[in-house]
Amino acid sequence: MKIAKLEAIPYSIPYRKPLKFASGEVEAAEHVLIRVTTDDGVTGIADTPPRPYTYGETQASIVAVVDQIFGPSLLGLDPLDREKIHAKLNRTVHNNTAKGGIDIAVWDIIGQLAGLPVSSMLGGFTDGMRVSHMLGFAESQKLLDEALRMRDQYGIDTFKLKVGRRPIGLDIEACHVLRDGLGQETEIYLDANRGWTANEAMEVLRQTDGLGLSLLEEPCDAKEAMSRKRLVEKSPIPVVGDESVPTAGDVSRELLAGGCNAISIKTARSGFTEAQRILSLCEGLGVDVVIGNQIDTQIGTLASVTFGSAFEATTRRAGELSNFLDMSDDLLADPLLIQDGRINAREVPGVGAAIDEEKLARYRQDQ
């Protein structure tokens, strides 16, 4: 069996409301659907989110790198030869989501060939994941209202608050309002998306002391090497590396340099193969992981759940899996459901991300 076709299809689906955070803002999901087809007609599917402010990729760069570099180098390879495929992909630097999408699509094919759910093939620890919901920039009372609504409607009781605003008092107040309104049992953690300096982040930690926040993600740019190392040493809670650690090599460098001591794993940028390497590295070093969200569609979220539910270490914490609720539509034929605060992986061969061809025809931008 050989890879016969690699498609990178740009499409656009509007969000219900624009999403704001310290490193950027998005109004529509202008993503690229990756479709890998074998000479036997087996099709693998993945979704790639271009994030110029995180990985430097644009829709155009993803389409170009797939059409001009990855396509020609992968055609004719057996989808089972994943290490060979990655040796080819790794000749090109960065382009993380393009590579991640191809890897997931290849795994999707492998699962279908084997007649097994990919989640089982990866590890099969459990059938799904608890959901953590992300709260974007908003006035404190609105943040609390949204959290309470998510708890009532979906049973979600873990919240990631987007912070990194100035003055820092805005975010500190939001932490207090959320803790007061949600009670002591709810998990709340912070993601600054590099919005602060390391020293601002230190001050936020002091002024939220006692609130029981569980994690602080990307408080400042990892390039602030000395100050961030000091922050990581002093912080009472784990400091999570996210956009600073897209590959296993970045993870090892950042952990050894003292720039973080917990890791966000995102299948959108790592696929399953590199995500598994990262997970193994973190488990070996005794470092916590959290399954993150790249503002994923339902297709992307299903990939996260597929990976996250496969391992014990990735299910200890809730996964960030609810961003798709902000989308006005999706290409996934059979919609994802959040029930009792959980999303399940699919008990079908492959990843199970069958797409709605009519919707693809409606939203694609290349025809």
Active site amino acids: 162, 191, 217, 242, 266, 294
Q: Closer CB to its own copies, residue 133 or residue 269?
A: 269
The three-state secondary structure class of 7 is strand
Query: In the complex with its own copies, which residue's Cβ is closer, 63 or 202?
Result: 63
**Whether the Cβ atoms of residue 34 and residue 45 lie closer than 8 Å to each other:** yes
* Cis omega (within 30 of 0) for bond into 52: no
Instruction: Compare residues 82 and 229 and give the one whose CB is closer to its own copies.
Output: 229
Cβ burial, residue 223 (10 Å; 0-12/13-18/19+) = exposed
CB 304 to its own copies: min, Å: 21
**C-beta of 200 vs 243, nearer to its own copies:** 243
Closer Cβ to its own copies, 87 or 361, answer by number: 87
In angstroms, give the least distance from the CB of 253 to its own copies.
Answer: 5
Complete DSSP assignment for 78-107? -TT-HHHHHHHHTTS-S-HHHHHHHHHHHH
Q: Tokens 């955070």, residue? A: 21
Q: How far is the CB of 65 from its own copies (least distance, A)?
A: 6
Looking at the Cβ atoms of 82 and 277, the one nearer to its own copies is: 277
Minimum CB–partner distance for residue 334 and its own copies (Å):
33
Identity of the residue, 100 or 341, whose beta carbon is nearer to its own copies in the bound complex: 100
CA-CA-CA-CA torsion for 348, 353, 357, 358, nearest 10 degrees? 110
Is the separation of the CB atoms in 135 and 322 below 8 Å?
Answer: no
**End-to-end CA distance of the chain, in Å?**
30
- CA 111 – CA 109 distance, rounded (Å): 5
Give residue 154's region: left, alpha or beta (phi > 0; psi -120 to 50).
Answer: alpha
CB of 277: closest distance to its own copies in angstroms?
11
Q: Determine what percent of the chain falls in helix, strand and coil, rounding each to the nearest 5.
A: 40, 25, 35
Question: Within a 10 A sphere around the Cβ of 161, how many other Cβ atoms?
Answer: 21
* Closest CA relative to residue 271, chosen from 110, 114, 128, 125: 110
- The bridge status of strand 24-38 relative to strand 43-48 is antiparallel
Helix extents (H) in 90-168: 96-114, 118-122, 140-154
For binding to its own copies (CB under 8 A), which residues are involved?
23-24, 52-61, 63-65, 68-69, 91-95, 221-226, 229, 243, 247-250, 252-253, 256-257, 259
